[in-house]
């Protein structure tokens, strides 16, 4: 039996980058609200610049590089997917709708039958 070991290595510089990124987000939000008297253009500009800086610092960290690598791998896998033709997709969708309709009818009939058995036959509660 093979065991997989997950090893998380985080340097002090990497932790500092993540902390700086979080501080930039908090700072951008605080500046947005503190610059309310300057007008919405200044508020939004400061918020967008602060969030962009936070994203930049995050992507410079190891966690950010891993996220980018994951995104690239996911995109590569999506490109490998063989999508069904239009006719096949319509047929599959029709099968699903048909099955849902049959199941709804079956469940409704089951519910009404059980209601009739319990309320009318067993308990005698006529409507």
Q: What is the mean pLDDT of each run of 10 residues along the chain (127 residues)?
A: 60 91 96 92 95 96 94 95 94 98 98 92 77
Residues 26 and 66 in one domain: yes
Looking at residue 124, its pLDDT comes to 79
Query: How far does CA 36 lie from the centroid of its chain?
Result: 32
Half-sphere CA count of 48, side-chain side, radius 13 A:
6
- 106 in a structural domain: yes
Q: How far apart are the first and last CA of the chain?
A: 63
Q: Is residue 2 part of a domain?
A: no
**Quick check: is 6 in a domain?**
no
Q: Up-side HSE of residue 40: CA atoms within 13 Å toward CB?
A: 0
Contact yes or no for 17/60 (Cβ under 8 A): yes
**Number of domain units in the chain:** 2
Please say whether the beta carbons of 68 and 56 come within 8 A: no
pLDDT at 93: 97
**Whether residue 90 is found in the same domain as residue 58:** no
Are 90 and 117 part of one and the same domain? yes
């Amino acid at each position: 039996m093979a065991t997989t070991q997950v090893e998380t290595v985080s340097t002090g510089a990497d932790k500092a980058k993540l902390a700086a990124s979080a501080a930039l987000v908090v700072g951008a939000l605080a500046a947005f609200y503190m610059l309310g008297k300057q007008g919405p253009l200044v508020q939004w500009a400061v918020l967008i610049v602060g969030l962009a800086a936070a994203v930049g610092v995050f992507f410079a960290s190891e966690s950010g590089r891993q996220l980018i690598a994951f995104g690239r791998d996911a995109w590569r896998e999506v490109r490998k997917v063989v999508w069904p033709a239009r006719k096949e997709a319509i047929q599959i969708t029709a099968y699903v709708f048909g099955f849902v309709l049959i199941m709804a009818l079956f469940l409704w009939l089951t519910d009404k039958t059980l209601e009739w058995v319990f309320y009318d036959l067993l308990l005698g509660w006529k409507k």
